[in-house]
Amino acid sequence: MISPLACIHPEAKIGEGVEIGPFVFIDKHVEIGDGTRIDANATICEYTKIGRDCHVFPSAVIGAVPQDLKFHGEETWTIIGDRNVMRECCTIHRGTASKGQTVVGNDNLIMAYCHVAHDCILHDHIIMSNAVQLAGEVEVDDFAIIGGGTLVHQFSHIGGHVMVQGGSKINKDVPPFIIAARDPVSFCGINSVGLNRRGFSLERIHTIQDVYRQLYNTGLNVSQAVAQIEATMPATPERDFILDFVKKSARGIVRS
């Protein structure tokens, strides 16, 4: 299942059942997991690991050196998990000395012309629509959906179960469970449709709504709102998950 027109370094490790199309280039220090498919003209650069049952579409470039002037050729990695789909012309760059690796988890869909810069961390079940651009050291949590053409500033954090409107410019952290939209990007309610599809009970969704009602609609600053929520709302996994995200936000969260 390997095209004779592919160029594969003899030190690359290719798993069982891997399909490799014509004019694919695979460098040294590369590992490709069982059942993965790499289509024509894709490039897999050195220091890259790709897991099982992934699909790399034509002309994607995985593991290229970062576009960071602080990078001086040190050994850093691109780590791709299992069952990921990387569509045409997407680019995923390896890490720098900052974190040492760029990581993509499992079951993610990265659509055409997306860019994942150095030291990003993508967790699981993420959808990045066409031409989403992630700058360096961005983190995206489970089940986030990022609309096409979105630009994400370096060091930003996008929370789990978030829906980001296409064409958004993200320069603050986006807390979990919400819809982020408008220009400038703002809190536009919770992602109730997505949460319902993922099996969240009505009670859990109402808890999330109550947390954000106090966080955004009371006129308090973020620190005051967090203190009020902790004082007036019983602890639940959803409440604590949101508050933990907000407390750890280095860039501050999007506002209403």
Look up residue 29 and give its DSSP letter.
S
Helix, strand, coil in percent for the chain, rounding step 5 = 15, 30, 55
Name the catalytic one among 93, 115, 118, 123: 118
Tokens of 11: 């030190």
The candidate with the shortest Cα–Cα distance to 136, out of 124, 114, 121, is: 121
Q: Which residues does 221 contact at the CB level (< 8 Å), separation at least 6?
A: none
Name the catalytic one among 21, 136, 159, 160: 136
Residue pair 181/162 in contact by the 8 Å Cβ criterion: no
Q: Is 206 a catalytic residue?
A: no
Angle at 202 between CA 122 and CA 218, to 5 degrees: 80
Residue pair 12/27 in contact by the 8 Å Cβ criterion: yes
Name the catalytic one among 119, 124, 141, 142: 119
Q: Is 125 a catalytic residue?
A: no
Q: Is 159 a catalytic residue?
A: no
The candidate with the shortest Cα–Cα distance to 204, out of 216, 220, 192, is: 192
Tokens of 249: 């936000």
Q: Which residues are catalytic?
A: 118-119, 136
